[in-house]
Amino acid sequence: MVRLLIVGTGGMASNHAENFAAIPGVELVAGVDTRPAQLQGFCEKHRIAKGFALVDEALAWGEFDAVTNVTPDPAHFPTTMPLLAAGKHVLCEKPLATSAADAEAMANAAAKAGVVNMVNLTYRNGAALQKAAEMVAAGAIGKVRHFEASYLQSWLTQPAWGDWQTEPQWLWRLSTKHGSKGVLGDVGIHILDFATFIAGDAAAEVSARLATFDKAEGGQIGEYPLDANDSATMQLRLNGGAIGVVHATRFATGHLNDLRLRIYGTLGGLEVGFENQISRLRACVGEDRLTASWREVDCPAVPTVYQRFIAAIRGEGVAIPDFARGAALQRLLDRAEESAAQGGVSLAV
């Protein structure tokens, strides 16, 4: 039996609770949240016996093996570090931290503790992404030369998740004062992982531009200054020499939550998409290159991050993506932010 503690009981926590509870041999034993009413409601909903206000209180109790950390981004570092020191396995929501220094400290602490450590990059659950990465690694498109990737959301132009102009729970995403890193930190991490994981190569250099658009009179709603970036564009050079463009925005009308990658090599190309909740892969390889023909590729279902985390704890799988990957992505995000602040200059990662 794997006894699981859930730290943070906000919106995403229910998704974690439901997915873990569905895995045989996993027991949700306790929750942690500084908000008593929120904690009580969450524990009652998911039939969790114990609740604690602080991680330290849960550690003093100690009757758990693993943790899923679903706290807000700035809380990932201070809540995860004591759990690692106590030798607990940890799955942490993305981004791993809000700075490369903190993310690297978390990765080092996890390695020192020798525990299973994973970061929840949810689009790794996509069958097309995994199959595409497998094909690139097997040489199906030859040496990667060029790519273009996008993460498009429309929630600033239509109320698919709710109306950010009238529902204050969304406003933290638009305000640096309230911890937001904007679209770059929120979804940029996903599309950067999407592109570089499939390419099988890390970024060596990045240049970036960020834009924040006027969204309310005076640039503020209530206590929230709307100053976080709304759109991001990046140019990357990978270690192997390939170059590409990556962009993300919340102003993409007609796209609720869509990711796409087009990647080209010396022997072929792939188009990978997660659009309208559908994972899809198309390829132009082999003899099809001669006629520029594209074919759908069958992509078998893959285990979820929740299943992979538990499997790794049981010694039945590899803990990927781990904290080291989360730290590498945070370094890339930090460099992109620095590049934008310097007018888009190219910086080594």
State whether 184 and 245 are in the same domain: yes
161 within a domain of the structure (yes/no): yes
| Rounded average pLDDT over 219-245 | 96
Nearest to 227 by CA among 237, 236, 215: 215
345 within a domain of the structure (yes/no): no
User: Of 69, 88, 122, which residue is a domain's last?
Assistant: 122
User: Of 100, 122, 144, which residue is a domain's last?
Assistant: 122
| Rounded average pLDDT over 52-62 | 98
Q: So what's the pLDDT on residue 274?
A: 95
Q: So what's the pLDDT on residue 160?
A: 80
State whether 95 and 229 are in the same domain: no
Nearest to 198 by CA among 321, 347, 312: 321
3-state DSSP assignment of residue 283: strand
- Which residues is 236 bridged to in the sheet? 206, 244
State whether 151 and 204 are in the same domain: yes
Q: So what's the pLDDT on residue 338?
A: 98
Range of the structural domain that residue 150 is part of: 127-301
State whether 167 and 293 are in the same domain: yes
Q: How confident is the model at residue 166 (pLDDT cuts 50, 70, 90)?
A: confident
State whether 82 and 208 are in the same domain: no
Kindly report the length of the chain. 349
- Number of domains comprising the chain: 2
State whether 172 and 282 are in the same domain: yes
User: Of 66, 95, 122, which residue is a domain's last?
Assistant: 122
Rounded to whole angstroms, the Cα distance separating 256 from 107 reads 33
Tokens 């099988």 sit on residue: 200
pLDDT at residue 321 is higher than 90: yes
State whether 132 and 274 are in the same domain: yes
55 within a domain of the structure (yes/no): yes
State whether 111 and 132 are in the same domain: no
Nearest to 265 by CA among 249, 248, 289: 289
Q: So what's the pLDDT on residue 50?
A: 97
Q: The CATH number of the domain where 180 resides is what? A: 3.30.360.10
177 within a domain of the structure (yes/no): yes
Cβ contacts of residue 15 below 8 Å, gap of 6+?
none
Tell how far CA 36 is from the center of its chain: 28
Q: What percent of the chain has pLDDT over 90?
A: 91
Encoded tokens for 317: 């799988």
| Rounded average pLDDT over 176-205 | 94
State whether 22 and 150 are in the same domain: no
Rounded to whole angstroms, the Cα distance separating 176 from 99 reads 14
pLDDT at residue 172 is higher than 90: no
| Rounded average pLDDT over 283-305 | 96
Nearest to 249 by CA among 237, 238, 264, 260: 260
203 within a domain of the structure (yes/no): yes
State whether 31 and 134 are in the same domain: no
Average pLDDT, the chain: 96
3-state DSSP assignment of residue 330: helix
State whether 183 and 255 are in the same domain: yes
pLDDT in tens, 1-39: 999 999 999 889 999 999 999 999 999 999 999 999 999
pLDDT in tens, 62-119: 999 999 999 988 899 999 999 999 999 999 999 999 999 999 999 999 999 999 999 9
State whether 214 and 228 are in the same domain: yes
Rounded to whole angstroms, the Cα distance separating 323 from 210 reads 26
264 within a domain of the structure (yes/no): yes
Higher pLDDT pick, 168 / 313:
313
pLDDT at residue 170 is higher than 90: no
335 within a domain of the structure (yes/no): no
347 within a domain of the structure (yes/no): no
Q: So what's the pLDDT on residue 87?
A: 98
Q: The CATH number of the domain where 28 resides is what? A: 3.40.50.720
Q: What is the DSSP string of 78-143?
A: HHHHHHHHTT-EEEEESSS-SSHHHHHHHHHHHHHHT--EEEE-GGGG-HHHHHHHHHHHTTTT-S
Instruction: Please report how many Cα atoms fall inside a 13 Å half-sphere around the Cα of residue 329, on the Cβ side.
Output: 28
pLDDT in tens, 267-285: 999 999 999 989 999 999 9
Q: What percent of the chain has pLDDT over 70?
A: 100
Q: So what's the pLDDT on residue 229?
A: 97
Q: Exposed, middle or buried: residue 138 (CB in 10 Å: 0-12, 13-18, 19+)?
A: exposed
CA distances from 213 to 179, 208, 232, 280 (A): 18, 17, 12, 32
